[in-house]
Amino acid sequence: MAELITGPDGAVVDGVLRLGADGSLTVEGYSVRTTSTPAGLRYDVLTPDGTEFSWTAPRAVAQRTLILGGARSGKSTEAERLLAGHPDTLYVATGGDGESDPEWADRIARHRARRPATWGLAETIDLVPLLDSPGPPLLVDCLTLWLARTMDAHDIWADSSRVTEVEQAIEDLAQAWTRTTRLVVAVSNEVGSGVVPADPGTRLFRDLMGRLNTTIAHYSTSVLLCTAGRTTAL
């Protein structure tokens, strides 16, 4: 009887047909059909004795992935898809709990509803300790809200001379991102593609957002761009 054995490096059918994330070798008598799915490459195998097997090779996730995109571009969904195979993922929400904003609370509730029930949750902008500590994969959603709340914490909107404090926070985050031993995916917005903001505070936020994205991207092992629900590797 035909046999399928799976392991960390792939799967083997009858000891001769090897399947993996990058494809398989042709073996006489075995029919193999492959389909790309959100979870990875799926194999449908028909063996010489008529046995049918179906197996999916999980997609590999880079150690440090930054996902960029505009509003409603699909970036959060892509981040969740990348870590769907990790039931112990810790979701790091940087936008607060929405207690004072019903519309924001509704957004948060919809995000929670679509995440796996096994995922943990941390609501914080104190990202450096999380990145520096060992543990399960992190999904940081998102760096844009981290920046806005960091600017709030330094009262930069009222006094732009404190910009150096925010720049230091960006550098501290980047260094922690570089040295982390965790698998980590972060989501961030591209905000500089539209019109020039009319007020200096928003212009400063736009400029800092671009600097933050550029810095984190430089230290990432993978950078993805989401546009209209489509994902492109940069």
Instruction: List residues with catalytic annotation.
Output: 111
Contact 86, 135 (CB under 8 A): no
Tokens 């990145």 found at: 131
Q: Distance (Å, rounded) from C-alpha 129 to C-alpha 81?
A: 25
DSSP 112-180: HHHS-TT-EEEE-S-HHHHHHS--S-EEEE-HHHHHHHHHHHTTTTT-GGGHHHHHHHHHHHHHHHHH-
Q: What span, in angstroms and rounded, lies between the C-alpha atoms of 106 and 180?
A: 32
Burial class (CB in 10 A: 0-12, 13-18, 19+), 91: buried
Rounded Cα–Cα distance for residues 111 and 71 (Å):
14
